[in-house]
Amino acid sequence: LRALPADDPRAYKVEHLNEVEANLRGMGKLAEGEVLAEVGCADCHMGVGVQAGNHKTDLRLPDGAACGQCHVRQFSERESERDTITWPQDQWPAGRPSHALSMIANYETAIWAGMAEREVAEGCTMCHTTQTSCNQCHTRHEFSAAQARKPEMCANCHNGVDHNEFENYMTSRHGLIYQTNGDNWNWKAPLS
């Protein structure tokens, strides 16, 4: 990344890397002036900077807070969804339903609680777990912003009879434009 020329559309990632390194310095995981050489499995699955561990007792599946140790800004942006969304007809309380509060949408919905078919209710839980993980939109080990921007990734949860947003989008004017022109778009451009 450090060798990317400034006119490369991925050059913004250098600034992101610098931000992560500053976070690691703040945690005492990198010395002043030291650069991050690599990110290994143990950094995410055992703890930032951990050199060794016992797979049976120390291995964990990273959650959003684990990602947030290095990706502080992104984690705080995600967490800010908790209290910044206001719905136009007050159909939901402020901050819900957002990705950071998706599990609450299950537990606080009378339909989910009263559903006699528990296997159907458990199906809700397959998507309503994004509050603890970043990899619902950024798949593990790649964490691609370009991947997360495409509507197919949203369809991972937002589809089907009860949540047909993906189908509605794909047949809308915007969805048709995406389908006809999306291959020509720069999905790696930085977000503003």
Strands (E) in the chain, as ranges, are none
pLDDT of residue 95: 60
Separation between Cα atoms, residue 108 and residue 116, nearest integer Å: 16
Decide if 192 contacts 145 (C-beta within 8 A): no
pLDDT of residue 87: 66
pLDDT of residue 74: 84
Decide if 188 contacts 145 (C-beta within 8 A): yes
**Which tokens is 123 given?**
């199906």
pLDDT of residue 23: 93
pLDDT values of the chain reduced to their tens digit, one per residue, 192 residues = 889 998 888 888 888 899 999 999 999 999 999 999 888 889 989 989 898 899 889 998 888 888 889 999 888 887 777 766 666 677 666 665 677 777 776 766 677 777 777 777 777 777 777 777 777 787 777 778 888 889 999 898 888 877 889 999 999 999 999 999 999 999 888 776
pTM of the model: 0.71
Instruction: Please count the other Cβ atoms lying within 10 Å of the Cβ belonging to residue 41.
Output: 10
pLDDT of residue 21: 94
pLDDT of residue 80: 76
